[in-house]
Structure 1
Amino acid sequence: MRLLTLGASPAAACQKVGVSITAVLVTMDQSAAFRKRMDRVPDLLSQNVAASLYQAAMKGSVTAQTFYLKNLPPPEWDVGDAEHDSPESKEFQNLTVDQLQELDADESDQFEDLE
């Protein structure tokens, strides 16, 4: 199992420990507990990648930071519906330039009040 969680292929892990892949498949068929542990391997591999991504983000990789936050924003961020929040949102499509500028000015005033 350890070799699999480190990214080894099932065939390579079997070869390393001297077990045939057929024996592993038979054991998976016969043992629900073994099959359950084997089924968890992809989850563990994903957790390894997520941990590496987090470490890269913390070391300053903007790409890693962007990807991480896009896929797992902090709970206090109100992400909402991406389509609804996009600039192409239907609620803004029929506004004039003057109306859009007025909305922008209103938002700017709100941020100034926070300072």
Structure 2
Amino acid sequence: MADKQLDVKPAEKRAVEAYSKRRVALREEYIKQITNPHRHGTGEGGILFDSGIQRFMSMRATEYDHFKATPKTSLYGLGFVVIPIIAYGYMLKSSRDAQEHKYRTGQVAYKDRRFKFV
């Protein structure tokens, strides 16, 4: 009664279970092959070639060779690099100018200043 799902048809449920079994079997076979200590005896070496992982690693190694600047990537660069740096610089300058103005107009006594050198 607990495994009865009303929103899933029996055919869909069988397909999902078959996919799950296939995936578990492939995972176990991969782990068995990759951890086999006797692979060196067959001349294969200690690695297992996986074409999907190789494509991913090749893509990561050459992604900048195939980069194409578009308006979207330019806006990302502007929004995540240039604007925060300019905003942070403006914030630092305005806060330091305000503090300097208070020092020069006498609103802060010398003994209360933050960076007093003795």
Tell whether the structures are fold-level matches, with TM greater than 0.5: no
Q: Which one has a larger percent helix, Structure 1 or Structure 2? A: 1
Task: Give the alignment's TM-score, normalised by structure 2.
Answer: 0.29
**Structure number with larger C-alpha Rg:** 2
Task: Give the alignment's TM-score, normalised by structure 1.
Answer: 0.29
Bigger relative contact order, structure 1 or 2 (CA pairs below 8 A, ≥6 apart): 1
